[in-house]
Structure 1
């Protein structure tokens, strides 16, 4: 596996800036590309969060460099803000990394322009931004439009998302993850070679480098709409997910390779079934046909909750106690 080289902090001057990041503890990096309406919603959600938690800055990295986006940025109510119009397009994943490289704060969260946060997001994660923690995230709600939610009255204790659990999935679809900036730079950030699974891969590497905490509260929104990366590249993502899960199995269950491979195939087969339902009107692909063959493995129809319980038990006991 070719891991990305460490990222270097970026010193590019912004084309527009206001406010100051002197008192900020977290940077919100927004990779933007020609969707002004969504960007306006994302910035509005950040503006609303300022009343409860003003100690953040926003960095917009514009791969489209259209005047519409700059106007949206300047018209927003975000106090501490920098806008960068990229002279050359970085591409999706490298533009995610721009948020990590341009940040000046100890913590960074990448927010896609079509996603948003709820006003209590920062207040929810702030108590958990501690030394030794690699990342903190909240739960997120998914849909085509953000639902109206009420703020939680009391914060529940977070839980650690163990590296072994990534055999099932990552801890979040994407938004609502705050990462330790220095650690993220050392790890090389998101790996462009992983394409649509770059977030899955990065969260896993973070979990291997330190503690990843999940706050049970819903504080972010992940937008599902037509034309997303998954819609365009799901056959490649299906193949890559099996490769990634096999890697996780090798690293997390070195004493139980047969069990690790079985779990990797089990969850990839479930992913294939989900894609088959979601894209039932599209032509059958070779990747999907091959992935559906994973359903032929022994015990492929056991309830997924049983396998999830097994993963949790294995993580609790530690890999040294798992042998074949």
Structure 2
């Protein structure tokens, strides 16, 4: 599947007999797309069962015709009222996300993959930032092969805004721990399957056009990272899609500085390519991408300088002046500390 210049989102969430949009529901819905890793799903659901909150939330698990053990894990997860839905046909990754979101009843929704998890304070901390004008609230994530113990946050949650121009560098956070209004989800049509592995990045960018995106300056989620997540063959296509999306953001956010914005898009894509080459080895496809972007001028600038310049241009970012937002058509792993830390 090839992505054209800039595909515009279609309505990816089609109404069904069980579509609950417009019906009263809890404050928050967690959608957990499941497939073939019930041993990891147990950890994800366990992290929801351990939420230290009195705020109402629901959990919807959508099984994309995975292993038989998936149903058993859901039935024994200890979450009151958890809903299990087995898809009538295999929908694929992004399709399964949208299926679960169409079934959600909460005013706010969040997708938690079966291999990720949330810390016990997630719901209570995020709920304090939900309100009018907010398009998304995200948290910082610990990363690795297993959840780490991290300090329990204290005081009122502090947040930084992440306006649309900053997406030229990348998304505001890894996938877990992003909460957004269900009404906006339906207005935007859901995640666009045509973007494949970048469907989340593209959707967060569209969300940022609709209101304020906030990132809590504390760890609230765990993002599982594995070198086997993507094959060497997949990285070049992922880089290509990422660069297409950055070019779209550059064109929409900086029309009066088109050449500079395109240079920044190339700079950050080159940075990704070099990171992939360092992490996965000097494979020919990745080196080809690195060589292509190595021809750009000023490629040796420190990435921190470029990021600081982008923040200065972005309205709403710390210290930024920027320009008005233009509507779009269409952490390192935490260290274990003392008893004030908590595991997922």
| TM-score under structure 2 length normalisation | 0.86
Partner in structure 2 of residue 236 of structure 1: 237
> Structure 1 54/69 Cα, relative in aligned 2: closer, same or farther at 3 Å?
farther
CA distance in 2, matches of 1:107, 1:9: 18
Q: Which has the higher contact order (CA 8 A, sep 6+)?
A: 2
Partner in structure 2 of residue 12 of structure 1: 18
Partner in structure 2 of residue 18 of structure 1: none
8 A Cα contact 2:141 2:223, kept in partner = yes
Q: How does 1:96-175 map to 2 (within 5 A)?
A: 96-175=97-176
CA distance in 1, matches of 2:147, 2:65: 25
CA distance in 1, matches of 2:232, 2:53: 36
More helix by share: 1
8 A Cα contact 2:135 2:212, kept in partner = yes
> Structure 1 179/288 Cα, relative in aligned 2: closer, same or farther at 3 Å?
farther
CA distance in 2, matches of 1:261, 1:22: 45
| SS in structure 2 at match of 1:128 | coil
Post-superposition offset of 1:127: 1.3
Partner in structure 1 of residue 340 of structure 2: none
Post-superposition offset of 1:22: 6.8
Q: Which runs of 4+ in 1 moved over 3 A?
A: 8-13, 229-232
CA distance in 2, matches of 1:3, 1:274: 29
CA distance in 1, matches of 2:82, 2:197: 28
CA distance in 1, matches of 2:124, 2:239: 36
CA distance in 2, matches of 1:103, 1:185: 11
8 A Cα contact 2:128 2:157, kept in partner = no
Where in structure 2 are there 5+ consecutive unaligned residues?
Answer: 1-5, 315-319, 325-344
Partner in structure 1 of residue 288 of structure 2: 289
CA distance in 1, matches of 2:40, 2:258: 45
CA distance in 2, matches of 1:165, 1:187: 20
> Structure 1 104/194 Cα, relative in aligned 2: closer, same or farther at 3 Å?
same
Partner in structure 1 of residue 192 of structure 2: 191
Where in structure 1 are there 5+ consecutive unaligned residues?
Answer: 14-20
Cα root mean square deviation, aligned: 1.8
CA distance in 1, matches of 2:86, 2:187: 26
Partner in structure 1 of residue 334 of structure 2: none
8 A Cα contact 2:236 2:289, kept in partner = no
> Structure 1 10/30 Cα, relative in aligned 2: closer, same or farther at 3 Å?
farther
Partner in structure 1 of residue 47 of structure 2: 45
Map Cα deviations across residues 36-90 of structure 1 (whole Å, 9 max, x no partner). Answer: 10000001100100x3244110000000243200000000111131000112011
CA distance in 2, matches of 1:136, 1:80: 25
Q: How does 1:82-93 map to 2 (within 5 A)?
A: 82-93=83-94
Post-superposition offset of 1:229: 4.0
CA distance in 2, matches of 1:292, 1:46: 45
Map Cα deviations across residues 232-281 of structure 1 (whole Å, 9 max, x no partner). Answer: 62110011111110110000000000100000000000000001011106
> Structure 1 113/102 Cα, relative in aligned 2: closer, same or farther at 3 Å?
same
CA distance in 2, matches of 1:267, 1:137: 22
CA distance in 2, matches of 1:10, 1:119: 33
CA distance in 1, matches of 2:50, 2:186: 29
